[in-house]
Amino acid sequence: MPQPSPRPHPRPRSRPLPAMTQDTLVIADLGPRTRTRTKEAHRPSGPYRRLFTVPGARAFTAGNLIARLPMGMFSVSAVIMIAGSRGSYALAGAVTATGLAATAVVAPWTARLVDRCGQARIAVPATALAALGSLALLLCVHYDAPDWTLFAAYAATATTPNTGGMSRARWAHLLNGDEKALHTANSFEQAADELCFMLGPVIAAFLCGALFPEAGTLVGAVLMMTGVLLFAAQRSTEPPVRVHVEGLHPRGTSPLRAPGMRPLLAVCLGTGAVFGSMEVVTIAFADERGHQAAAGAVLALQAAGSCAAGLLYGALKPAGPAARRHPWCLVAMTVLMALPLLAAALTGSLLVLAGALLMAGTATAPTMITTMTLVQSRTPEDRLNEGMTLAVTGLLGGIACGSAAGGWAAEQVSATAGYGVPVAAAVCALLLSLATTRRANSRISH
């Protein structure tokens, strides 16, 4: 019986091929491993990596870091140099306080010239004058000149430009209103400040102890001049000078007259007193126990805690407006600043104190980042460098007061009792912030 012939298989219908991108073809050819790598390649990079993809950012940041490193060296170098040669922490604290107070007066005028004439044209000669002042202080100490010459020489360093403010102004210009990226940039700049204040005291203490007492000041002056020259050479990222048009920007647009600016500067004054007193008291505490060379390393731990907290704070998305976060940052700083006082009073151990300073430092950077964010938001755009320098001026004025008060407390009472000065200063800053916030809320409600 004949078998039926098999039916031919139906020809499959032709389907249009899906549109293939170059990535799809690679995945089809190389399998799932390439698919994983492709997903990783398209994964968004971290906020700091994205920040430094901005053209020219790495170059001006490198020069700025070199210029900023001596900011953490000068005060410690001066205290060690003067206290070692004259035998008085009160004199050393008073000299550094005088220099910082002079800087607080001169710095806003320098910043105003920077806004009007440009960063490179003003920063280089201003830094040269400040470097000459540092060298004059070195010579006065080395040749045992009268005490009044120390005050005059250190006051001559007042023309030091606000390199951190100029760097923040460049970020504001390059990022052009991107608030999230600007938050990351401000966090990086604050972490850079803390890094300089972390390494600066260690380098200064090492140079003054291992070489000669004036070595810290000498190296700091050379680094500052070199860094500013490198920073000023990066003209492509420099913010343009905004021409002042009469009638367009009235006198009331001065940063000092901006709403909410003066109370914020008062808070900066109290915050600076925390930093100034903590530095002098810690040096005196280490000296009382015969470990003056370790003072720089102990202070570096406080800056290390602040640097780590600042980088973490910048990687996170800020919760709520800066004006609401600011008092909470000051609450944290007030609470944590009590730890060094407790460590010194209860144990008297330099090692325990170092751990307490590390913890206390974690509140510093978030407070300063939030403060600078408020300053930027309240400052007229054409006077941004002046506004940020006014904030630094408030900090310097507070550091001067804190240095003098901390030096007096350490010499007249004890270094342990001196740790009460930064706690009191933190409480004052907190109360000022709370009073300002309450007044602002009452105005809004009415």
How far is 351 from 356, CA to CA, in rounded Å?
9
pLDDT-based confidence at 229, cuts 50/70/90? very high
Mean pLDDT across 10-36: 44
pLDDT digits (tens, 9 = 90+) for 330-386: 888 889 988 988 988 888 888 888 888 888 888 888 888 888 878 777 777 667 777
Q: Could you count the other beta carbons within 10 Å of the beta carbon of residue 365?
A: 26
pLDDT digits (tens, 9 = 90+) for 147-205: 888 888 888 888 888 888 788 888 877 887 677 777 788 788 877 877 777 777 778 87
CB 343 within 8 A of CB 356: yes
Give the largest CA-CA distance in the chain.
Answer: 132
Q: How is residue 303 written in tokens?
A: 């800056």
Q: What global pTM score does this model have?
A: 0.67
Mean pLDDT value across the chain:
77
How far is 60 from 107, CA to CA, in rounded Å?
21
Tell me which range, 84-93, 116-125, 436-445, is most confidently predicted by mean pLDDT.
116-125
CB 361 within 8 A of CB 304: yes
Residue partners of 275: CB distance under 8 A and separation at least 6: 364, 395, 398, 399, 402, 422
Mean pLDDT across 95-103: 80
How far is 240 from 227, CA to CA, in rounded Å?
21
CB 156 within 8 A of CB 130: yes
Q: Which fold has domain 56-238+255-445?
A: Growth Hormone; Chain: A; (1.20.1250)
Mean pLDDT across 90-99: 80
Question: How does DSSP classify residue 252?
Answer: G
pLDDT-based confidence at 18, cuts 50/70/90? very low
CB 79 within 8 A of CB 386: no
pLDDT-based confidence at 319, cuts 50/70/90? low
Q: Does residue 438 surpass a pLDDT of 70?
A: no
Q: How is residue 51 written in tokens?
A: 């920040």
pLDDT digits (tens, 9 = 90+) for 278-301: 888 888 888 877 776 677 778 778
Question: How does DSSP classify residue 242?
Answer: P
CB 408 within 8 A of CB 90: yes
Torsion of CA 388, 128, 198, 107, to 10 degrees: -20
